[in-house]
């Protein structure tokens, strides 16, 4: 896993990335960190990184069954997604669906014991060679 001192990230699915970005930066004191046009933006405020995923982003794709209805989830960044998948499978954990690739990187979902979604995400720029 990555170091625990990284920003805490939460993903929100939005219909209009620019409108959401404007709302959070104009009204709630967030600062734009990254933008991928209409697909995705992330804004930060203190230790919170809010991921704004539009309809064209990989994060906005349908949640695979049997996940509990709902689209919000904890988002944990990892340095090597494939290694994390192997490690967690070896520990007996199962994933909800397969790895999904998008403009910002790769991700996979798993559920905690209560059925809450957890997304493991490897940014495109940190993929192992």
Reply yes or no on whether the pLDDT at 60 is more than 90: no
Give dist(CA 61, CA 40) in Å, integer: 13
pLDDT tens track for 65-97: 655 555 677 788 889 999 999 989 999 988 988
* Residue 116 falls inside a structural domain: yes
Query: Which of the four pLDDT bands, split at 50, 70 and 90, describes residue 105?
Result: very high
Strand order in the sheet with 95-102: 31-35, 40-45, 48-53, 8-13, 73-77, 117-123, 105-111, 95-102
Structural domains in the chain (count): 1
pTM: 0.60
| Antiparallel, parallel or unpaired: β 8-13 and 48-53 | parallel
| pLDDT value, residue 52 | 87
Ranges 29-38, 56-65, 101-110: which has the least confidence: 56-65
Token pair 């397969």 in the structure block, residue? 98
Closest CA to 10 of 55, 56, 73: 73
* Residue 3 falls inside a structural domain: no
| pLDDT value, residue 68 | 53
E strand segments, the chain: 8-13, 31-35, 40-45, 48-53, 73-77, 95-102, 105-111, 117-123
Return phi, psi of residue 89, to 5°: -65, -40
* Residue 1 falls inside a structural domain: no
CATH number of the structural domain spanning residue 112: 3.10.180.10
Q: Are 68 and 116 in contact (CB under 8 A)?
A: yes
* Residue 54 falls inside a structural domain: yes
Q: Which residues form the domain of 74? A: 8-126
* Residue 50 falls inside a structural domain: yes
């Amino acid at each position: 896993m990555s170091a625990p001192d990284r920003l805490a990230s939460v993903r929100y699915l939005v219909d209009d990335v620019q409108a959401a970005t404007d709302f959070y930066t104009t009204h709630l004191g967030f600062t734009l960190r990254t933008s991928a046009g209409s697909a995705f933006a992330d804004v930060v405020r203190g230790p919170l990184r809010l991921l704004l995923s539009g309809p064209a982003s990989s994060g906005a794709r349908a949640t695979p069954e049997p996940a509990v209805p709902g689209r919000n989830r904890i988002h944990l960044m990892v340095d090597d997604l494939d290694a994390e998948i192997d490690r967690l499978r070896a520990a007996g954990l199962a994933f909800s669906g397969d790895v999904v690739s998008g403009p910002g990187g790769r991700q996979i979902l798993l559920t905690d014991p209560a059925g809450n979604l957890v997304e493991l995400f490897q940014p495109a720029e940190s993929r192992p060679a």
